Structure 1
Amino acid sequence: MTETGWSKLEALPRPTLEELFADPRRLDALCTTLDLPGGAIRFDWSKTHLDNAVLEVLSSISAEMDVEGRREALFTGEIVNPTERRAAEHTAQRGIGNGESVERAMANHERMRGLAEAILSGDFGEVKSLIHIGIGGSALGPALAVDALTRDGARVDVHVVSNIDGCALEQAFAACDPATTMLAVASKTFTTIETMTNAESALDWMRQAGVGDPYGRVVALTASPDKAIEWGVDETRILPFSETVGGRYSLWSSIGFPVALALGWEDFSAFLEGAAAMDRHFYEAALYENVVFRAAFGDLYYAQARRCETRAVFAYDERLALLPDYLQQLEMESNGKRVTADGKPLGRPSAPVTWGGVGTDAQHAVFQLLHQGTHLIPVDFLAVKAAGDVLDPAHHRILLSNCFAQGAALMSGKADDGDAARAYPGDRPSATMLCDDLNPATLGSLIAFHEHRTFVNGAMLGINSFDQFGVELGKAIAKRIESDGAEGFDASTAALLDAAGIG
């Protein structure tokens, strides 16, 4: 990759948002409404500094990096993860991709559907709760989907546990009766130490409560079925998925089992179809009409030309409270890299730090910095037209009014009228995604949109978005501590281990 395109991007004029809105065609050019299975979603990027000049330069970089060719490779099951020599076939789980991979995914879904429906029909006795044990992508996706979609009740109450801290597991135990609880153990390799330690403790909890066959209450979600059998799970309760499905992209596979159990299969199918609709848009829409490319181009403009080190995401809907956490892993684990896919130094900023929260709480916590601080931070707002509650409509009206007001205030600012402390510089960018409703299909579309946005960001920079070796070193050192104690560590680490009674 040459630096010519990025240098051109950095050298472009920087009109203000107010100046950009002098063009009466701007809103139509940068605001697109997609009609999707769960209802329409409006993608408004008009309050960003994207203009024709920026889009032309980024389009040329996209052509130079063959992003459309990489997109084709992604959807046809070719190798897009060169360090591990793998495809990345999460779209096949939604029915779009290599034919054999789609067929295998559909067979695995039928297996998952059969087990979920057997549990719901009482074949395993009364089941009121499921404790889902995983970590990273094996937990964040199920936690987001269950929290967002079961506020009005669930077929089975799902408790997602990821932290090795025993307090997290004890909290789930306190909410469940072991006699009516099943366990889902989610691990691609079925060797993840946090997950397997938590799973052993959950089995002990069942034994101590008098459950005669704890292993008979376990469902394994894994790409390593043999390891699950070796651990003690019967083959009939193992739900496999492909090695080509990465952890943070695995919600659509058997890792989504707790979602299917909580919602029922019809809603889980709608979840998959919502994602598939976004797949089709990303795959088929022309570059300038493609909301995924537009969002990624905005990300790249601010990270590369403006050197913005963070991007904020605020969900103005309590049901999406876990979305910022989910996006943190998706974006930073995918593109938080310092070398390109061929191992050369990146030489540019990679993924910005993704952070955020829930409106209107965040307004009273962090928006001071967004409006008047010295950092330029692009902001994404997510909102839903239909209320998720049945209270006085004033609640939802005030919520949405605050969401839209924040974007307007970031853009327009407020002039210094002699009191600098009350002045707002304005010209601060934001994008807004407004959904007609929040349902399984809509959530599927939103998650798939962000998956593909992350992919385009990585492809534009030449990054492999599908490996994550950065998580391994600390875990390897933790294993070393377990076996060797404080021996061989720096003085500070050795002293900490000693002070904690570990060394």
Structure 2
Amino acid sequence: MMRADQQWQALQQWQPQQIKSLIDGNAVARIEQMVKYVADIRFDFTKTHMDDAALQLFANIAAQQNFSDHRRALFAGDIVNISEQRPAEHMAERGDGAPDSVYHAQMLQHRMRMLVDVIEAEAFGEIRHILHIGIGGSALGPSLMIDALARDAGRYDVAVVSNVDGAALEEVFKRFDPAHTLVAVASKSFATSETMVNAVSALQWLTDHGVEDPIGRFIAMTSEPEKALEWGIDETRVLPFSETVGGRYSLWSSIGFPVALALGWEGFSELLEGAAEMDRHFRLADGTDNICLLAAFVDQLYANRLGAQSRAIFAYDERLRLLPSYLQQLEMESNGKSVTADGDALTLKSAPVTWGGVGTDAQHAVFQLLHQGTHLVPVEFIVARYPDHGLDDTHHEILVANCIAQGAALMTGRSSENPARRYPGDRPSTTILLENVTPRSLGALIAFYEHRTFSNAVLLGINPFDQFGVQLGKELASGLTAGTAHFDAATLALLAAATQTE
């Protein structure tokens, strides 16, 4: 068998067939091959250019990249984050991984559940509002889950603030009653500058409004509990999580504390179980039966053979409106690399730009480019069979019809004597169909994207678990603020213009 680099070269010789011809040639076989069901979710890759020859090439690449060994190492708790010499043990939070790590995660979850019980028992008084402060992975996951699943829960009013712009906090301060507010500070290092500045302002807000023992209203979620103690938060209100759980994979740990409050512990447990179901599938299924690996094959076909520089995700469900933002960090921070895990220059294209929106809104904004623009953009549609509202069924019927029709229109196109009315067609899309948007289904869906991201990284030979690229700008910003770093004249002139006072 050829080496992986030779397989990638062989892929360049592969020629795509039209998508419609792949379906029309043998629709039954195509659907059987390219549609998979996991955790009651239907993953449909029929409307892509992937064919038998390409699947075989990618199977060879996966074998040459030792995909099975990398997957085994991930679940065993071996070091897979080479640059930082760490395991990546977010699955242990869901019950799968090294036994000691699973046990440790369960103990920390038990600690978190006890704190949830205490709050529900009103040991902190009558709490009606939860202000969750974090950024990146400490905010995106909780934001997504609370917005998607807790709209009608009627338990707590939860606001997630990530932006250091004071306008974000002020908006929450205007609608929250400080006498009935609990503040949750989420930071893996408990030193993230934006988060800690916001935390200080929240503490001042409670103090200014006469809250007795304002620091007693703070909960800390961190892998550095000592720093939370130094900041003044009592040990009983510190919820640790393991250093081996990366920020963008931390939703399942104590970072999910506001989700557990918003949904109740039963809902949070269902979220974990849905993710665990996808974990089991990813760990046990091989080849194209593994939906996460199959999705990665499709991703790489477009990025490294057909030249797609971006991937668009459209959730035809208002509850999932934050999903594209969540996936931007997961995919682009994980796989936006230019060197391999061995430190060599990456000769392949890394993660495409992830972007998207909500259907049907996006149809009236960006679909013009998708249908008639010159860019090839693989599109991913996400929709649920059943709605979560009490309005007339017409709403959901129109929503679902638009979602399915868009995929068909991208593929078939339309000819016309008028060039402006001509749709080229043969444009790819995938569709993910959920039964309902529930904690279980959303947990499985997010775990699918995590394992898909890991699979892409293995195929590319890169490390998806470090993120040094986010540090340089932050370091320079600190130096700029403190006046301790040297900058070019243009940068200094811009700073002067931005900070000058009358």
Q: TM-score, normalised to structure 1's length?
A: 0.98
Tell me if structure 1 keeps the 8 A contact 2:20–2:47: no
| Map of 2:283 onto structure 1 | 283
Correspondent of 2:37 among 30, 33, 38? 33
| Map of 2:15 onto structure 1 | 13
Q: Deviations over 1:379-405 (max 9, x none)?
A: 000000011111010000000000000
| Map of 1:479 onto structure 2 | 478
For the residues of structure 1 that align with 2:378 and 2:500, how far apart are their CA atoms? 43
Q: Deviations over 1:405-424 (max 9, x none)?
A: 00000000001x21010110
| Map of 1:401 onto structure 2 | 401
| Map of 1:107 onto structure 2 | 107
Alignment of 1:219-298 (within 5 A): 219-298=219-298
Deviation at 1:23, TM superposition (A): 2.0
For the residues of structure 2 that align with 1:482 and 1:58, how far apart are their CA atoms? 48
| Map of 2:449 onto structure 1 | 450
What secondary structure does 1:83 align onto? Answer: helix
| Map of 1:426 onto structure 2 | 425
Identity %: 57
For the residues of structure 2 that align with 1:492 and 1:360, how far apart are their CA atoms? 43
Amino acid at match of 1:195: T
| Map of 1:60 onto structure 2 | 60
For the residues of structure 2 that align with 1:240 and 1:449, how far apart are their CA atoms? 26
Tell me if structure 1 keeps the 8 A contact 2:129–2:158: yes
Q: Deviations over 1:206-229 (max 9, x none)?
A: 000001211100000000000000
Deviation at 1:174, TM superposition (A): 1.4
Alignment of 1:35-184 (within 5 A): 36=39, 40-184=40-184
Amino acid at match of 1:346: L
Q: Deviations over 1:31-82 (max 9, x none)?
A: 1122x2xxx1110000011111011000100011111110110101000001
For the residues of structure 1 that align with 2:495 and 2:36, how far apart are their CA atoms? 55
| Map of 1:342 onto structure 2 | 342
Structure 2 residues not aligned, in runs of 5+:
none
Correspondent of 1:500 among 488, 495, 498? 498
Deviation at 1:8, TM superposition (A): 1.0
For the residues of structure 2 that align with 1:482 and 1:494, how far apart are their CA atoms? 11
Deviation at 1:502, TM superposition (A): 6.2
Amino acid at match of 1:488: H
Deviation at 1:137, TM superposition (A): 0.1
What secondary structure does 1:73 align onto? Answer: helix
What secondary structure does 1:288 align onto? Answer: helix
For the residues of structure 1 that align with 2:286 and 2:187, how far apart are their CA atoms? 38
Pick which of 321-330 and 12-21 moved more. 12-21
Amino acid at match of 2:35: C
What secondary structure does 1:251 align onto? Answer: helix
For the residues of structure 2 that align with 1:163 and 1:290, how far apart are their CA atoms? 38
| Map of 2:206 onto structure 1 | 206
RMSD: 1.1
Q: Does 1:300 align with 2:300?
A: yes
Q: Deviations over 1:121-170 (max 9, x none)?
A: 11111000110000000000000000000121341111000000000111
Structure 1 residues not aligned, in runs of 5+:
none
| Map of 2:314 onto structure 1 | 314
| Map of 2:489 onto structure 1 | 491
Deviation at 1:301, TM superposition (A): 0.4
For the residues of structure 2 that align with 1:81 and 1:401, how far apart are their CA atoms? 43
For the residues of structure 2 that align with 1:10 and 1:320, how far apart are their CA atoms? 36
What secondary structure does 2:12 align onto? Answer: helix
What secondary structure does 1:421 align onto? Answer: helix
Tell me if structure 1 keeps the 8 A contact 2:164–2:197: yes
Q: TM-score, normalised to structure 2's length?
A: 0.98
What secondary structure does 1:408 align onto? Answer: helix
| Map of 1:386 onto structure 2 | 386
Deviation at 1:493, TM superposition (A): 0.9
Amino acid at match of 1:427: D
Deviation at 1:293, TM superposition (A): 0.8
What secondary structure does 2:252 align onto? Answer: coil
Moved segments of 4+, more than 3 Å: none
For the residues of structure 2 that align with 1:215 and 1:263, how far apart are their CA atoms? 25
Amino acid at match of 2:461: G
Tell me if structure 2 keeps the 8 A contact 1:90–1:252: yes
Amino acid at match of 2:37: T
Tell me if structure 2 keeps the 8 A contact 1:313–1:379: yes
Tell me if structure 1 keeps the 8 A contact 2:4–2:61: no
For the residues of structure 1 that align with 2:37 and 2:276, how far apart are their CA atoms? 17
Q: Deviations over 1:353-386 (max 9, x none)?
A: 0000000000000000000000010000000001
Deviation at 1:2, TM superposition (A): 4.6
Tell me if structure 1 keeps the 8 A contact 2:288–2:294: yes
Amino acid at match of 2:139: A
For the residues of structure 2 that align with 1:479 and 1:263, how far apart are their CA atoms? 38
For the residues of structure 1 that align with 2:326 and 2:180, how far apart are their CA atoms? 29
Tell me if structure 2 keeps the 8 A contact 1:154–1:263: no
For the residues of structure 2 that align with 1:134 and 1:144, how far apart are their CA atoms? 13
Amino acid at match of 2:425: G
